[in-house]
Chain A
Amino acid sequence: MSVSVLLFASYADAFGSRRVLVPVSAPCAAADLVEAMRSMPGGDRLPERPLVAVNRAWVDLAAVVQPTDEVAVIPPVAGG
């Protein structure tokens, strides 16, 4: 089982891809997904509490991720 995660900007550079398959079984907490990503190549670049969006809305790390959700782990935003 794995969950597809969208990556952008510095995180896409760190993981070398704009989309990674994270080896976790959904449903799971967003925090579990982030922890699994830490052991992947580039995962050491994630901060303690990265931003997460599910289905294009910000969520808390305690939020539950479903297998069909669109999940993104998001670097600090810097628009403007």
Chain B
Amino acid sequence: MASAAPPASSTGLLHAAIVHRPIDVGALIARAQVPGVGALSVFLGTVRDFNDGRLVSGMDYEAYESMAASELAAVAREVCDRSPGLRVTLEHRIGTLAIGDVSVAIVAAHAHRGPALDGARAIIESLKQRVPIWKREHYVDGERIWIDPTRAALPGEEPG
């Protein structure tokens, strides 16, 4: 049966997972990309070496794993529901990470750049509000402290 319409491919949330290994960003991109995609945005959260005036040497990420997996998927599905045609893959890593390691990767693909860019932003903002994951910073002096985003940030500082 001949048709002028492009081949259908599934849209919405394609993959969401909490992982204990390095995130393969290329694999997440490959999974989101199909011929109908014209724009693909990637958000990567990485471990930085300085926070709250202190030098950081690494980070422990902990999750309430069963709930974090379902909340991660729910966050992405809600954004996909508001943005028809969006294709999303994402992973959040837990465990002990080094400076520069990718802690979270979100791929949002769409025919057009607006929904792709907005989709990745919406997912990371919602993830930070409701997915039960915590991080404990290791400081160069040996101290380790759980980050509490509800405490007042320093002027001009963006938490997280």
The chain A residues found within 8 Å of chain B, CB to CB, are 6, 8-10, 13, 47, 53, 56-58, 72, 74-80
Beta-carbon contact of B92 and A79 below 8 Å: yes
Beta-carbon contact of B146 and A9 below 8 Å: yes
Asked whether any CB of chain A lies closer than 8 Å to the CB of B45, the reply is yes
Contacts A56-B70, A79-B131; is A74 near B148 (CB within 8 Å)? no
CA distance A39 to B128 in the complex (A): 31
The chain B residues found within 8 Å of chain A, CB to CB, are 45, 61-64, 66-68, 70, 92, 103-104, 124, 127-136, 146-150, 160
Contacts A6-B64, A8-B132, A80-B128; is A75 near B146 (CB within 8 Å)? yes
Beta-carbon contact of B64 and A74 below 8 Å: yes
CA distance A9 to B65 in the complex (A): 12
Beta-carbon contact of B133 and A79 below 8 Å: yes
Contacts A9-B134, A10-B148, A13-B146; is A79 near B104 (CB within 8 Å)? yes
Beta-carbon contact of B134 and A78 below 8 Å: yes
Residues in B with CB closer than 8 Å to A56 are 64, 66-67, 70
9 A–B pairs (Cβ distance < 8 Å), ordered by A: A6-B64, A8-B64, A8-B132, A9-B146, A77-B130, A77-B134, A78-B148, A79-B63, A79-B133
CA distance A77 to B68 in the complex (A): 10
Of the candidates B68, B70, B131, B148, the one whose C-beta lies within 8 Å of that of A76 is B148
CA distance A56 to B147 in the complex (A): 22
* Chain A: minimal CB distance from B58 (Å): 15
- CB nearest neighbor in A for B136: A9
Beta-carbon contact of B104 and A80 below 8 Å: yes
Beta-carbon contact of B67 and A80 below 8 Å: no
- CB nearest neighbor in B for A56: B67
Residues in B with CB closer than 8 Å to A13 are 146
Beta-carbon contact of B45 and A80 below 8 Å: yes
